[in-house]
Amino acid sequence: MWNKLKVAAIVAFVGATLQPASAQTPIKIGFIGELSGAQASIGRDQYDGFMLVVERNGGKLGGVPVQVIKEDTQLKPDVANQAVRRLIEKEKVPIITGVSFSNIMMAVHKYVTDQQVFLIGSNAGPSQIAGAQCSPYQFITAWQGDQAAEAVGKYASDQRYKRVLLMAPNYQAGKDTLAGFKRHYKGEVVDELYTQLNQLDFAAEISQVSSAKPDAVFAFFPGGLGVSFAKQYAQAGLMKKVPLLSVFVADAINLPSIGDNALGMVSGSFWGPDIDVPASKRFVDEFEKKYGRIPSNYAAQSYDAAQLLESAIKKVGGNVADKPAFMAALKAADFKSVRGSFRFNNNNFPIQDMHVLEVAKDEKGRLSLKTLATPFKSMEDAYHDKCPLKN
């Protein structure tokens, strides 16, 4: 009897040690984003883009099981701080991704990176963390907050708009965006109007546009803010009188709600659904089949975040606890990005092309974005030289 028990114990031990990789403890990944309120569509697209890769792989990244723990930051810095502390201190996550808004990024960035938790940001890119407050634990798969606006600013100059009025919410991304536009716009800035971050009534500001009579308006209003602004701008009869240039007002999230009034609107971005890149075509096709809608740039950025993690986790064989090795694997960015070539600058923000897009109907008759021009190739952000990290 003793020998039989001994043999059974040995067999059980050997069996346990030979378990396949799929039986290993999942890597926990925290996802934080705006998942309720007027901006919920942004967080939803980020989450769906990320999970498209995870679910395609049967719940794995890099061949290793992952557990994605989702937290709604509600666009409130204090709620976001509670969420990341819960994820890090209770759930023991080694990786956090998502982060929709720059005020949330600025609230959580230092705590997360000080804990040596890897922060794979898939939207917010405030100037501070691209510059002096950069961290080797941050890897941004989106864009620095000025970049899309810089492309539109150059486009506005190329179109010879002599007088432009600027509008944005009064928070970090709004300020960065308008700074970016002005960096490459050579004409006169008639006025800069800053609104409250949760403001949905723009009657006063639109009245100021009518009085100022600019050649064009440049506006940044993400998510639900953009829908409200664009509708009111059109209702005031300005859409056909004063061209509306934007970043992230006219996107796949907002266009169905804005409707045909959006036709002809111009936007800046690192990516559009018509980009002629095999990885992008696969992404767009799979996203539409799974979710029944055209993906936004938010989904594309987050899809790339999942692809980045997949490549890095695979390189370290799932051992994300080896932080120097995992950091080097992330820095290598060895994956096929939706935007084509992808590489990190010294500050761990992408060096990438920046495009100007126009709202038009696609081959199915849906409102979408088509690429008009590429003002900047392999563009570095304006703050990377202030980051002490070296390539």
Question: Quick one: DSSP state of residue 340?
Answer: B
50 and 121 both lie in a single domain:
yes
Helix (H) or strand (E) holding 29: strand 27-33
pLDDT at residue 9, as a whole number: 41
Amino acid symbol at 265? M
Residue 55 has which token pair? 């679910």
34 and 159 both lie in a single domain:
no
248 and 360 both lie in a single domain:
yes
Q: What is the pLDDT along the chain (391 residues), one digit of tens a residue?
A: 444 444 444 434 444 444 444 468 999 999 999 999 888 999 999 999 999 999 999 999 999 999 999 999 999 999 999 999 999 999 999 999 999 999 999 999 999 999 999 999 999 999 999 999 999 999 999 999 999 999 999 999 999 999 999 999 999 999 999 999 999 999 999 999 999 988 999 999 999 999 999 999 999 998 889 999 999 999 999 998 999 999 989 889 999 999 999 999 999 999 999 999 999 999 999 999 999 999 999 999 999 999 999 999 999 999 999 999 999 999 999 999 999 999 999 999 999 999 999 999 999 999 999 999 999 999 999 999 999 999 8
63 and 184 both lie in a single domain:
no
In this structure, is residue 98 part of a structural domain? yes
- Tell me which residue of 165, 175, 164 sits closest to 197, measured CA to CA: 175
pLDDT at residue 23, as a whole number: 60
pLDDT at residue 24, as a whole number: 80
> DSSP 3-state assignment of 98?
strand
Calculate helix-pair angle for 297-315, 40-56, nearest 10 degrees: 40
**H helices present in 115-163, as ranges:** 127-130, 147-158
Amino acid symbol at 230? A
* Count: domains in the chain: 2
166 and 250 both lie in a single domain:
yes
The answer to whether 364 and 257 have CB atoms below 8 angstroms apart is: no
218 and 345 both lie in a single domain:
no
For 135, phi and psi rounded to 5 degrees? Answer: -140, 145
For 242, phi and psi rounded to 5 degrees? Answer: -125, 105
141 and 167 both lie in a single domain:
no
pLDDT at residue 293, as a whole number: 96
In this structure, is residue 323 part of a structural domain? yes
pLDDT at residue 322, as a whole number: 98
In this structure, is residue 283 part of a structural domain? yes
309 and 207 both lie in a single domain:
no
293 and 336 both lie in a single domain:
yes
101 and 195 both lie in a single domain:
no
What's the chain's Rg over C-alpha atoms?
Answer: 22
The answer to whether 308 and 335 have CB atoms below 8 angstroms apart is: yes
- Tell me which residue of 195, 204, 180 sits closest to 226, measured CA to CA: 195
**173: containing domain:** 147-270+356-379
pLDDT at residue 14, as a whole number: 40
235 and 372 both lie in a single domain:
yes
Geometric angle at alpha carbon 145, from 181 and 323, rounded to 5°: 155
In this structure, is residue 18 part of a structural domain? no
Q: What is the 3-state secondary structure (H, E, C) of 232-281?
A: HHHHCCCCCCCCEEEECCCCCCCHHHHHHHHCCCEEEECCCCCCCCHHHH
In this structure, is residue 328 part of a structural domain? yes
233-253 as b/e: b if 16+ CB within 10 A: bbebebbeebbbbbbbbbbbb
How far apart (Å, rounded) are the C-alpha atoms in residues 299 and 312?
A: 20
In this structure, is residue 159 part of a structural domain? yes
Residue 335 has which token pair? 């994956």
Centroid of chain to Cα 98: 8
**CATH code for position 264:** 3.40.50.2300
245 and 367 both lie in a single domain:
yes
* Residue found under tokens 């967080």: 43
pLDDT at residue 156, as a whole number: 97
pLDDT at residue 154, as a whole number: 97
In this structure, is residue 62 part of a structural domain? yes
